[in-house]
Every structure is written in C-alpha cells, then in structure tokens.
Structure 1
Amino acid sequence: MVQLYKQQRFIFMALDPVHIGTGQTRIGRVDNTIVRETGTNIPKIPGTSLMGAARSYSSLVYGKPEAAGQHLKLKPEERKNCPIVYTFGTYNNGNNDAVAGQQGKISISDAQILFFPVYSMAGPVWVSTSKILALADFQVNGLISSADDVLHTSLKWSKETLNLGWLHLKAKNGLIVKPPGEIENKKEWESIKQRIVIVSIKLFSQIVNSNLEVRTSVAINPETGAAEDGALFTYEAIPRATWFWSDVVQDDYTSEFPKTKKQFTARGENSGEELPSEWNSPLDVVKSGFEVMEFLGIGGMTTRGFGRVKCIADREV
C-alpha cells in the first residue's frame, strides 16, 4: 500500500522567553499580547511561525538564503531541483518570466504547551493536564481525584496543599508520567520528571495566563540617548523551560524529492560542502531548520534574549 502521508511529532523546550505577538495592542495589563488559542485562551506558537523559521534556517544551512523568500531568481527548470522550494513551495509573483506556483509538501501544526513552569513553595514545577499529556502520547498513572481544587504531583511532598503561583490547591502524591521512548533518557526530561504537577483542565488556562513573563521596555531617542516621553510599553512572553509539542505532516504526493548531500553554490544545487546530515525527504529539511532555532530563535525580539527553542526529540506517529 502506498503511504499517503507521514506524520512526525516534535517536542520542543523554550531556552528563552518566547514572544509571538498578535500585532495588536489593547487596554489592560499588557500592551503587546501574545498569540493564544481561541477556545482555551492558552498561548501557543503558531504553525506559521514554525514554518517561517524552518524555511529561513534550512535555507541558511543549505547556503541559499534567497530560497527563504520569494526566490525571484529561480528558473522554471530549477523548481524541482531545489530542496527548499520542493519542501516549502513557491508562488507566481506576477512577472511574465515567473515560475508557476508550486505547493509545499509539508504542513506544520501550532505548537501547543505541554508542560508549563510555575514557581511554588517546593521550587519550580511543570504543570500540565492529563488530557494534554494523552494527546502527546504521555502515559499518566496515579490520578485519584478529578476535583478542580486538587492537584496530583510527582514531587515527594508531605504537606496537604501546594501553591502554583498565587493559587493553593490540595496536593496528592503518587503521580507517575511515562513519556514516549524517544524522550525517556533525555536530560531535559530527567530534570523535570520528579517535578510534574497535573491540574484540572478548567484551571490550566488560568494558571498559565497568571504566570506568563511580562517585561517593560521604552523607546530610546537616537539623538539624545534618553527615553522617549510616553513611549513606555509592556509585553508578555511564554517563559523559558516551557515544553511544547507540534505535529508535522509530510505529503510528498509526487515522490520526486531531490536527495541532497551538499550545500548550494554558484555551480548549482547539491554542489558545495557536505550538509550536517543528508536530506532524503522534506521532513529532513524541516528538521534541519528546527535545529537552528536552538541558536537563532523564533518570534519577536530575538536580539534581546528572546526566542531560542530547542527540539528535544521527534518521532513518527
């Protein structure tokens, strides 16, 4: 049977606060807000942001930065030979000599929060819900109550209550969370597996939104070096050490991916130095872009200590 598609699940962890802005301001606690899921009001990293970062950074890895954009220099006969264009697609820019549009071969879903770090009297803990973990194929055991005012924790905690920021809940021990095999031996998992807290889905959104990072900045007058009057603004971000999960679907319906071992040069495709790893499919191109997010970041204000996200593991689902 022909495989119609391939689905790969990626697990990420924020190394810095992440700000994916809505592009709007509002009256309230924060001027510049971040993107949220409409139904739950939980922050997320949009798939469009992941797609843009993956394309931009894989183009840099390939040595062909012009492929990150419209790729105006692309000739019609080169369309199927460029692994970046083959993976992410291109479109007709309206010029008479333009290449006809070509659909990409991958779809990237929004990165949803998997574990959210919150301070407590027991130190930092990572909060999630049983439903979110089940969606990401984590196994949860030891849940003995479904009450909204009860949390379950893998901490060795002897007191009757535990705070999550300002919120105090009844604490139940004995929680065991088993991750997918690809994550089980990762050092990032080892650092949080004994500090996990499971709460009601009703409380999760409130806990997340009450513990986002909020920063204040001011515009600087370039001539005087002093702060501009009335230019103080605040913005929020998802805190560092937050875990996310996202699915990438490869729909390589033509099965004509140009296998690539070397970088692009003036001599043409696949003609330069060796790539860090061979590209045998569109998913390999996406992975190479995700790996660079650990260093160059995603979203806004990446030059101010924001945006770095590490890909911890991936697996086929």
Structure 2
Amino acid sequence: MYKIAKPFFMICQTPMHVGSGNDLGIVDLPIQREKETGFPKIEASSLKGSIRESFEEKFGQDDENLNFAFGPINNNDSYASALGFTDARILLFPIKSMKGVYAYITCEKVLHRFLLDLNYAGIDNKFIIPQKNTVPIGSNLIIEGKGGSENVSLEEYTFKINKDDKCTELDKWLSKNIVPEGELFNYMREKVKRDIIVVDDSDFSDFVNLSTEVITRTKIDSNTGTVEDGALFTEEFLPAEAIMYSLALASPIFTDENKKPNIFKVEESKDKGKKEAQKVMDYFIKNLKEVIQIGGDATLGKGITRIKFFEQGV
C-alpha cells in the first residue's frame, strides 16, 4: 500500500502526443482520453515509462536504486516497484482568445477532482471553486460589449462573463503553485494569475475535444516525388502551454531487508514503512529532471515537458 502521495504538474513546452492507437474517427492517431469525460489524459503506464527513461538516461538502465524504485527490468526478480503514478489529468487548457492571444480554461468538474486528489495527498483545500463563466479581477481577456456587458471571445465563440473574487484567489493560488520559480517564468506566472476562465463543464468538454492540434503528415517517395501509398495520416496533439497534473505514489521497498539499497534503509520503528516510503519519494524528487520528454515523436521535438512539484504549505 502506498504511504505517501506527492502532486506534480506537467507544463507542455511543445505539443504532446501520447497516443491511444489507430482510430476509426476523423483523426487517425488520437491522443489518450478519459472514457467517461473525453478529457485528455496520460495513462499512468505511459507517464511512468517516460519518467523512468529520464532516470535511465541519468543513471543507466542497470542502476540498483533505479530498479528498486521503478521496478525490475527482469521479470524474474521477485519484487514490485516502490514508485507509482496516477493517470495525468488536464488542469488548464490553452484556447485562442481575441484579446490576450490565448486564455487558459478550466471548469468546475476539473477543479473539483483536483481538490479531491490534493485531499488524497493530505493537502487541505486551498481555494474555493468559482462559478462558471467567471474571470479574475484584472483579466486581460475582457471585451466590453453594448450596455456595459463584459465578454470574452474564445476561438469563434463569445461568452458573457463576470469578474469574481473566488476566481481571483484561485488564479493567485495556481500561479504560486504550478508555475516554476524565477524571472524566466514571470510571463507565465502573470498569465495564470490573470487569464484563467472557469467555463461550463460542457463548454470545456467541447474545447478539449475540438481545439487540440491535428496535423496531417505524409511520407514522400523520393523516386516519384509523390506521397507513398498509405503514408498520408493525421495525428492529434495536446497543445503547447497545456498544464496537467499527476500524483507520485511511494511505498516501502518490496524486498528482504538485507537486499535493500542503503539509500532506502531506515531504522526499526512503528512508522518504518512511512519513513522508507519517504526515502523513495525523496529519491524521486531529487533526481527527476526539470524537463523531460513524454509521448511520441521525440525526434520531431514533441512532448518536451517541464515538471513542477507541489510545495506543501504554499
């Protein structure tokens, strides 16, 4: 049983394709989506594989500490992984805006389960979920309409919105917790602080299904200069600037005491299991690169992702 959960955020620096295989729909190679909502996700197995690969680049495939943390390469080894991950869920989705270039959208459904996941990780509620169609005070996205009405235009749709203190507090909290520190990220921090819109659940569903990037790809026959048979296909990507989150889960090392690596060993006590799990989590947090590659098309520069851990007490 996992003893510790640590939330972390994934900021897409380039479009990301974590595929679900071939599909009979409009897109030949769609991204992974939740069955019940249709929201984009990253399967825990896909996420874990990408993270493990970044550790293998750093330590090598045969590193003992790595294999005890992530699980053995050889299936004959009789111990399980001490690290686990939940499916990565969408938190903020970027949408083209008439003002401010783009906006971040989220919805009550997304925020509600985000709070539930934080609660599972032992983190108390840090914000109140705003009502739908609200923006923070000072938003850069507002267009004034007739009679003093305030609107935002996302893609080709216009929404009448209200300024809300709860939305202001939400955006301030998110800007402190999901955006990395440092001057390099000042623009993004201000973007999150001012340009998040809480939309209706149905509108959010429509946007995340219809406003992803879909790219048509081909392979040219060098002899004829034409497209090879069967080499024209479409591929879906989660857009750059999208922000997702997951929970890293840690348990004690699953092996005999005399086989455990020294960095994971702790003295005997009532809470030995939790202390050992904390050692595993510390190893993960300390050694995970700030930027990793997730999903396919790595040679095309896709899936470059920045990691930010949630810091307790902020």
Q: Which residue of 1 aligns with 2:196?
A: 196
- Measured against aligned partners, the alpha-carbon deviations of 1:206-239 in whole angstroms (never above 9, x if no partner) come to 1111110010100233666653144211111100
- In the other structure, the counterpart of 1:238 is 238
**1:139/1:90 CA distance change after superposition, 3 Å:** same
2:102 aligns with one of 99, 124, 137 = 124
Do the aligned partners of residues 140 and 6 (structure 1) sit closer, same or farther apart at CA in structure 2, a change above 3 Å counting?
closer
1:172 CA drift (Å):
1.2
Code of the residue aligned with 2:211 in structure 1: it is N
Q: Look up the match of 2:119.
A: none
**C-alpha distance in structure 2 between counterparts of 1:173 and 1:220, whole Å:** 52
Written as runs of structure 1 = structure 2, the 5 A alignment for 1:245-256 is 245-252=245-252, 256=260
Alpha-carbon distance in 2 for matches of 1:299, 1:222: 29
Q: CA deviation at 1:250?
A: 0.3
Work out which of the residue numbers 94, 97, 100 in structure 1 matches 2:77.
Answer: 100
Residue 38 (structure 2) aligns with: 41
The question of whether the paired residues in 1 share the 8 Å contact of 2:9 and 2:244 is answered with yes
* Root mean square deviation, CA, Å: 2.9
Q: Give the direction of change, closer, same or farther, for the CA distance of 1:316–1:141 in structure 2 (3 Å limit).
A: closer
Q: Which residues of 2 match residues 1-317 of structure 1 at below 5 A?
A: 5-26=3-24, 28-62=25-59, 64-66=60-62, 82-90=64-72, 93=75, 99-122=76-99, 123-137=101-115, 139-140=126-127, 143=130, 151-154=133-136, 155-156=139-140, 157-159=142-144, 160-174=150-164, 175-176=167-168, 177=170, 178-179=172-173, 182-183=177-178, 186=181, 187=185, 188-221=188-221, 226-252=226-252, 256-259=260-263, 281-287=279-285, 290-291=288-289, 294-295=291-292, 297-315=293-311
Q: Which amino acid aligns with 2:8?
A: F
Deviation at 1:249, TM superposition (A): 0.9
Deviation readout 1:11-42 (Å, 9 max, x if unpaired): 1100010101111231x321111110000001
Tell me the CA shift for residue 288 of structure 1. Answer: 5.8
Q: What count of residue pairs does the alignment treat as equivalent? A: 268
Measure the CA separation in 2 of the matches of 1:142 and 1:109.
Answer: 23
1:164, CA displacement in angstroms? Answer: 1.9
CA–CA separation in structure 2 for the residues paired with 1:142 and 1:86 = 39
Distance 1:289 1:29, change over 3 A: farther
Q: TM-score, normalised by structure 1?
A: 0.75
Where does residue 269 of structure 1 map in the other structure? none
Structure 2 residue identity aligned to 1:133: L
More helix by share: 2
Partner SS, residue 110 of structure 2: helix
User: Deviation digits for residues 149-173 of structure 1, max 9, x if unmatched?
Assistant: xx11121525232222133221112
Partners of 2:312 and 2:6 lie apart in 1 by: 4
1:277-302 deviations in Å (ceiling 9; x for gaps): xxx8332443466426x25x111101
In 1, the alpha carbon distance for the partners of 2:86 and 2:198 equals 24
How high is the sequence identity, in percent, across the aligned residues?
A: 26
Partner amino acid for 2:135? T
Distance 1:304 1:234 in 2: 15
Alpha-carbon separation, structure 2, partners of 1:173 and 1:102: 53
Structure 2 unpaired stretches of 5+: 116-124, 145-149, 265-277
Which residue type is aligned with residue 86 of structure 1? F
Question: 1:52: Cα distance to partner?
Answer: 0.5
- State the one-letter code of the partner of 2:227: A
1:258, distance to aligned residue in structure 2 (A): 3.3
